[in-house]
Amino acid sequence: MASDTAVIEAIDDLPPVPEKKAPRYDRSIIDGSLSRAVWKIAWPTMLTNVIGGLQGMVDHVLVGNLIGAKANAAIGVSIQLWIVVIVFISSIFIGMSVMVARFAGAGQEEKVNRTVYQAFLTAIFMSFGILAPVGYFAAPYLLNLVNAAPEVQTEALPFLRIMYAFSGGMLVFFMLGGALRSAGDARTPMILGIAMTVLNLILNIVLIRGLGPVPAFGTMGSAMGTCIASGSVSLYALWKLWHGGWVVSFPRGGSYAPDWGVIKKLFKFGLPAGIQGIAMNVGGVLMLFFIGSLAQSEAAQAVYAVSYTQLFSLITWTSMGLMGAAASVAGQNLGAGNPDRAKAAVHAAARFGMLGAAFIGFFFFFFPAQLLGIFGLVDPTVVELGTGLLRVLAFSGIFISVALTYTGGLQGTGDTKSPLFISIISQVVIPLGICFVFQRTGTLEPIEVWIAILIGHMTRCALSVIRFSQGKWRGINVDIERTEA
C-alpha cells in the first residue's frame, strides 16, 4: 500500500504533458492523394476566376448594348494596358508564393508570416508610389501606342486612369490569395473573391447605366465599381491578417520595418515572373497594334476584346487556378523533401487542364455566333471575324492550359527564369514575327493574326513540358534568415 502511495506521489510530481498542437498547415498536401491535393487547391481558385470572369463579361454586355462596340474595344484595350503594369508589380507575389509554399511544406510558420508581411509592404509602395502617378499621366500615350481609334480613346482614357490610380486594393487581394493558396488554404480567397465579385457586379450595374440619383458613368463606371469593390474587401483582409485567424497572418512583435533580406529574395524569385508578365503583355499590346492596322480595325479590336480577353478567360482563368495549384502542391512537397511527389502533382494538374479546356473549346467551335451575340456583337462582319477567332481558340486553349500548369510547376519549385525565356520566345517573338512577315509580304488578314496566336501557344506548351521534365528545379534552394521573437 505504501509503495502504491509513493508511485502516485511520484506521478503527481511529474511535469504536465503538453497538449499536442494541431498542425497549422494542411499535411494532406504532402502526405495524401496528389490528385485530391491538386483539386483541393485548384477548384476554389477556378470557381473564383470563372465568377470574376463572368463579372467582366457582364461589364462588356452592359457597355456593348448601352454604348456600342467602341466601349467593348475601350475596355479590352485598357485592360491590356493595365495588366502590363499590374503583372510586374504582382511579380513579387510569385516570389512570395514560392517562399511561402516551401516554408509551409517545411512547417516554418515564422518564415511564412514574415514573407507575407514584407510582400505587403513592397506591393503598397509600388502601387501608390509608382503605379498611380506614372500610370495616370502615361495613359494617353499608351493608348496612342496601340493605335486605338479616336472614339475608343475617348471611352478608354478615364477608365484606364482610374484603374492605374486605385489598384492598391486589387493588389492586396492578389497578395492575400497567393499567400493563402501557397499555404494550403484555397477556400478563404474563394469566399473573398466571390464577395468582391458580387459587390463589383452590383456597383457596375448601378454605375455603368445609372440608377435613381446615381448618374450613368458609362465605361468609366466599370472601373469605379472594380476599384471600390476590391478596396473594400482588401481593407477587411488587412484587418484579418493583423488580428489572426487565417493560416497566414502578419507577424506580431519585433520590427515592422522593411526587411531588405526578405525583399531581396522576393525579387530574386519574383522578378523573372514580372519580366515574363511584362513581355507577354507587351506582346499583347503589340498584337493590338497589328490588329489596329487591319482594314477592319474597329471590328477586329471589338472581336479580340470579347473573344480573347473575355471568352477565352473561361479557359485561361480555370487554367490559372490549376497553375496555382501545381505551384503550391509542388512547392510544398519539395519543401518537405518529396521531389517525386512534386513532379507527379504537376502531371496531375496538366490532365485536369486538358479536360477542362477541351470542354470549353467545344462551345467555342460549335456555337461562336451565339456566344458573340451575348455581348451585342451581331454585325455580320464582326460575327465572321469572331467566329474565326473562337474556332482557333478552341484548339489553342488546350495548349495554353497544359503550358500554364507546367509553368506553375516550374515557378512553384523556384525556377522562375525558365518560364521567362519560354514566354519571350512563344508569346512575343513567334506570334509577332508571323504577323510582321505577313504584313511585309502582303496584306495582313485577321485569320493570320489568329493563327499566329495558336502557333505561339503550341510553342509555349512544348517548351514548358520539356523544361520541367529536365528536372533542374530539384536543386533550387529557398530560404531566409530566421529572426528571434
Please check whether residue 185 is in contact with residue 241, taking contact to mean a CB–CB distance below 8 angstroms: no
pLDDT digits (tens, 9 = 90+) for 155-206: 888 888 998 888 888 888 888 888 999 999 999 999 998 898 889 888 988 8
Question: Could you tell me which of 349, 346, 438, 354 has the C-alpha nearest to residue 396?
Answer: 354
Give the pLDDT confidence score for residue 283 in this predicted structure. Answer: 81
Q: Is the model's pLDDT at 35 over the cut of 50?
A: yes
Give the pLDDT confidence score for residue 18 in this predicted structure. Answer: 47
Give, in order, the Cα–Cα distances in Å from 244 to each of 20, 55, 99. 21, 30, 20
**439-451: average pLDDT:** 89
First vs last C-alpha separation in the chain: 50
Q: How confident is the model at residue 217 (pLDDT cuts 50, 70, 90)?
A: confident
How many Cα atoms are found within 13 Å in the side-chain-facing hemisphere of 57?
Answer: 19
Place of cell 506582346: 283
Range scoring the smallest mean pLDDT among 110-114, 142-146, 243-247, 448-452:
142-146
Give the pLDDT confidence score for residue 347 in this predicted structure. Answer: 95
Give the pLDDT confidence score for residue 417 in this predicted structure. Answer: 92
Residue-averaged pLDDT of the chain: 85
All 3 cell numbers of residue 180?
A: 493563402
Residue scoring higher pLDDT (147 or 38): 38
Q: Which amino acid is at 1?
A: M
Give the pLDDT confidence score for residue 434 in this predicted structure. Answer: 94
Question: Could you tell me which of 471, 475, 466 has the C-alpha nearest to residue 425?
Answer: 466
Residues 6 or more apart whose CB falls under 8 angstroms from that of 407 comprise 323, 419, 422, 464
- How far is 51 from 84, CA to CA, in rounded Å? 22
Full 3-state SS string of the chain: CHHHHHHHHHHHHCCCCCCCCCCCCCCHHHHCCHHHHHHHHHHHHHHHHHHHHHHHHHHHHHHHHHCCHHHHHHHHHHHHHHHHHHHHHHHHHHHHHHHHHHHHHCCCHHHHHHHHHHHHHHHHHHHHHHHHHHHHHHHHHHHHHCCCCHHHHHHHHHHHHHHHHCCHHHHHHHHHHHHHHHCCCCHHHHHHHHHHHHHHHHHHHHHHHCECCECCCCHHHHHHHHHHHHHHHHHHHHHHHHHCCCCCCCCCCCCCCCCHHHHHHHHHHHHHHHHHHHHHHHHHHHHHHHHHCCCCHHHHHHHHHHHHHHHCHHHHHHHHHHHHHHHHHHHHHHHCCCHHHHHHHHHHHHHHHHHHHHHHHHHHHHCHHHHHHHCCCCCHHHHHHHHHHHHHHHHHHHHHHHHHHHHHHHHHCCCCHHHHHHHHHHHHHHHHHHHHHHHHHCCCCHHHHHHHHHHHHHHHHHHHHHHHHCCHHHHCCCCCCCCCC
**112-129: average pLDDT:** 90
Give the pLDDT confidence score for residue 303 in this predicted structure. Answer: 87
Give the pLDDT confidence score for residue 299 in this predicted structure. Answer: 84
Residue scoring higher pLDDT (85 or 243): 243
pLDDT digits (tens, 9 = 90+) for 305-352: 888 877 898 888 889 889 989 999 999 999 999 999 999 999 999 999
Q: Is the model's pLDDT at 20 over the cut of 50?
A: no
pLDDT digits (tens, 9 = 90+) for 269-296: 988 988 887 787 778 778 888 888 887 7
Q: Residue 218: left if φ>0, alpha if ψ -120 to 50, beta else—which one?
A: left
Please check whether residue 112 is in contact with residue 250, taking contact to mean a CB–CB distance below 8 angstroms: no
Give the pLDDT confidence score for residue 53 in this predicted structure. Answer: 67
Give the pLDDT confidence score for residue 57 in this predicted structure. Answer: 66
Q: How confident is the model at residue 470 (pLDDT cuts 50, 70, 90)?
A: very high
Place of cell 464577395: 195
pTM for the full predicted model: 0.79
Residue scoring higher pLDDT (215 or 20): 215
Give the pLDDT confidence score for residue 308 in this predicted structure. Answer: 87
Residues 6 or more apart whose CB falls under 8 angstroms from that of 312 comprise 393, 396, 397
Q: How confident is the model at residue 152 (pLDDT cuts 50, 70, 90)?
A: confident
Beta bridge partners of 214: 211
